[in-house]
Amino acid sequence: MKTFIKVSILVLLATGILFFLSMFSFNFIAKNVINAYGTSITGTKVKIEKVRFAIVGTGHLGSLDIRNPENFTSDSFFKVESISTDIDIKSFFTNTKIINSIIIKKPIIRFELNKNYDSNLDEILKRVMRFSKKIKENTLAEKKINTTSKLVINEFSLNDATLEILVPNTKKIVTLGLSPIYLKDIGSVEGGVLPNELVKIIIERIKKKIINEEINELVNYKKQIEKTKDAINDYKSKTKEKIRNKINEKINNIF
């Protein structure tokens, strides 16, 4: 009986150690894949500091920083402290990885133009397209099926984003809020999308949000400033007129 208990304890300890090592290995591999593959796809440095996944599939990605391409003034295009995710662990042993959810909260997105009036967002998108074209050409040249793992994302959300717009030809930054971005069932119809295709989809949606909403908001912001200036000038004019009238009234009373 005692021998059985000892063996059971040893088995449990061995299982625990094996589990710990396997999860540590998974987190380490996931972190390196995100950093290396992300950098290749975007053509600019991608760095994530922490990756933590539980055996049930819930995960936490900490401190993601996507750097700006060269010829742009700010260091980063996209920064966020925390990303929550939930994955289907079993699917990661197949060629199609299923991600139940990716939730990004409070990221900082910097939008700016370089000297040629190209935006950092468009430049990154061009590099993603270039990477995708290269992958496709290599696959066709080698006449084989692309074995890169595909992704299915059931739910993607980006909330409470801060959009920093660097005003061209100045050092001024206008800070605005970006309305939430929700995407569902990415890759579910076509049996998954490649990682570069996923990056393209997300960047294009961010671009659409900025163009359709935030630039208009920036224009409205500018109009509000102009209206305020006009109101101040009008107030000054009316005040001056009142002062003149009072002075004239006093002069008339004297004479």
Could you tell me the pLDDT band of residue 188, with boundaries at 50, 70 and 90? very high
- In this predicted structure, the answer to whether residue 241 has a pLDDT above a threshold of 70 is no
Asked whether residue 101 is assigned to any structural domain, the reply reads yes
Could you tell me the pLDDT band of residue 160, with boundaries at 50, 70 and 90? very high
Domain that holds residue 119: 2-214
Identify the weakest region by mean pLDDT among 9-18, 38-47, 158-167: 9-18
Asked whether residue 22 is assigned to any structural domain, the reply reads yes
Mean per-residue pLDDT, 36-42: 91
Let me know: does 43 contact 67? Beta carbons within 8 Å.
no
Mean per-residue pLDDT, 222-250: 56
Mean per-residue pLDDT, 105-121: 88
Asked whether residue 227 is assigned to any structural domain, the reply reads no
- Look up residue 96 and give its two tokens: 């199609």
List, as one string, the DSSP characters of 160-220: SEEEEEEPTTSS-EEEEEE--EEEEEETTTTT-B-HHHHHHHHHHHHHHHIIIIIHHHHHH
- Looking at the 3D structure of the chain, how many domains does it have? 1
Identify the weakest region by mean pLDDT among 14-18, 38-42, 95-99: 14-18
Considering only residues 49 and 89, tell me which one the structure prediction assigns the higher pLDDT.
49
Could you tell me which residues come within 8 angstroms of residue 223 by beta carbon, excluding any fewer than 6 positions away?
none
- Give how far the C-alpha of residue 35 lies from the chain's centroid of Cα atoms, to the nearest Å: 15
Q: Tell me which residue of 71, 58, 59, 196 sits closest to 123, measured CA to CA.
A: 71
Q: What is the pLDDT of residue 129?
A: 92
**pTM value > 0.75:** no
DSSP state of 72: -
- In this predicted structure, the answer to whether residue 243 has a pLDDT above a threshold of 90 is no
Considering only residues 65 and 133, tell me which one the structure prediction assigns the higher pLDDT.
65
- In this predicted structure, the answer to whether residue 180 has a pLDDT above a threshold of 60 is yes
Q: What is the pLDDT of residue 135?
A: 79
Could you tell me the pLDDT band of residue 113, with boundaries at 50, 70 and 90? confident
pLDDT more than 70, % of the chain:
69
Asked whether residue 224 is assigned to any structural domain, the reply reads no
Asked whether residue 32 is assigned to any structural domain, the reply reads yes
Residue with tokens 């009142």: 242
Q: What is the pLDDT of residues 44-54, one digit of tens each?
A: 999 999 998 88
Q: Measured between alpha carbons, how far is 246 from 252 in angstroms, rounded to an integer?
A: 10
For the purposes of burial, counting CB atoms within 10 Å of the CB of 132, is it exposed (0-12), middle (13-18) or buried (19 or more)?
middle
Could you tell me the pLDDT band of residue 79, with boundaries at 50, 70 and 90? very high
Asked whether residue 128 is assigned to any structural domain, the reply reads yes
Asked whether residue 20 is assigned to any structural domain, the reply reads yes
SS3 39: helix
Q: What is the pLDDT of residues 199-232, one digit of tens each?
A: 999 999 998 888 876 555 555 555 555 554 555 5
Let me know: does 92 contact 79? Beta carbons within 8 Å.
no
Q: Measured between alpha carbons, how far is 12 from 39 in angstroms, rounded to an integer?
A: 40
Beta partners for residue 184, in sequence order: 155
DSSP state of 111: E
- Which amino acid is it at 88? D
